[in-house]
Copies of this chain bind each other. A is one copy, B any other.
Amino acid sequence: MTEKVSGAVITRLPRYYRYLGELLEEGIDRISSRELSERMKVTASQIRQDLNNFGGFGQQGYGYNVRNLYDEIGKILGIGLTQNMIVIGAGHLGQAIANYANYGKRGFVIKALFDINPDLAGYSVNGAPVYPLSRLEEYLGENDVKIAAICIPKTHSGEVAKRLVAGGIKAIWNFSHLDLDVPEDIIVENVHLSESLMKLSYKLNYKSEK
């Protein structure tokens, strides 16, 4: 993979990965782009185009080798690499994220949680210790961690993001309602839950108006 791949393709890759995993679970080891297209409800030509970005794993008249494609996309997505992560905020959301992401299969390992409430220090979530937020810099100096999830309110998330970046964090999984102001080379993936809920609410309202 030498060319830069478009954001839209990247957004679709995890979905391919998920569907291919389901096929493997069902014992299906070969699939045509047409069959995959029916399952995923995207056009066969989009599938061919998307997967061509990664060297085109399909063969004319044979279709795709599911295991092969699954493994290749997994590699592209960094699945199987061990990736250390910390979680900022040990409240309900932080704990949910720590429990959620903390399984070996995908390679994400939650090493620690940090909370502004020093009373939480000493607890652990799914085996990962909770430290006071004041120890963040010290921790980042001593541990190889590139990914941080921010699970605290927006009142503090901007300031914490700056501390994370200063400490060497390269990618932020941001659950706070703030568009983080970080240098361009820092990767930010936003999950704005309230915006998702508002979208749902909008659609529900709009529908009932008709």
Q: Which residues of A contact B (CB under 8 A)?
A: 1, 5, 10-11, 13-15, 17-18, 40-41, 76-79, 81, 83, 91-93, 95-97, 99-101, 106-108, 146-147, 170-171, 173, 177, 179, 185, 187, 189, 191-207, 209
Q: Is the contact region of chain A dominated by helix, strand, or loop, or is it mixed?
A: helix
Chain B residue numbers with a CB within 8 Å of A195 are 11, 14-15, 18
Chain B residue numbers with a CB within 8 Å of A203 are 10, 171, 187, 189
Q: Is A77's CB under 8 angstroms from B202's CB?
A: yes
Q: Is B194's CB under 8 angstroms from A106's CB?
A: yes
Copies of this chain present:
2
CA distance A79 to B177 in the complex (A): 17
Q: Could you write out 17 A-B pairs with CB less than 8 Å apart?
A: A10-B199, A10-B203, A11-B199, A76-B205, A78-B198, A81-B205, A83-B201, A92-B96, A92-B99, A93-B100, A100-B193, A171-B200, A187-B203, A187-B207, A189-B197, A189-B203, A191-B193
Q: Is A171's CB under 8 angstroms from B106's CB?
A: no
CA distance A13 to B205 in the complex (A): 14
A133 to chain B, nearest CB (A): 19
Given A18-B177, A96-B92, A99-B92, A191-B202 contact (CB < 8 Å): no
Chain B residue numbers with a CB within 8 Å of A205 are 76-78, 81
What 3 A-B pairs are tightest by C-beta distance, nearest first? A14-B195, A96-B96, A78-B201
**Max count, chain B CB within 10 A of own CB: residue among A18, A173, A198:** A198
Given A18-B177, A96-B95, A177-B18, A196-B204 contact (CB < 8 Å): no
Chain B residue numbers with a CB within 8 Å of A106 are 194, 197-198
**Max count, chain B CB within 10 A of own CB: residue among A10, A77, A95, A171:** A77
Q: Is A202's CB under 8 angstroms from B78's CB?
A: yes
A145 to chain B, nearest CB (A): 12
Q: Is B100's CB under 8 angstroms from A204's CB?
A: no
Q: Is A198's CB under 8 angstroms from B100's CB?
A: no
Given A92-B96, A93-B100, A79-B204 contact (CB < 8 Å): no
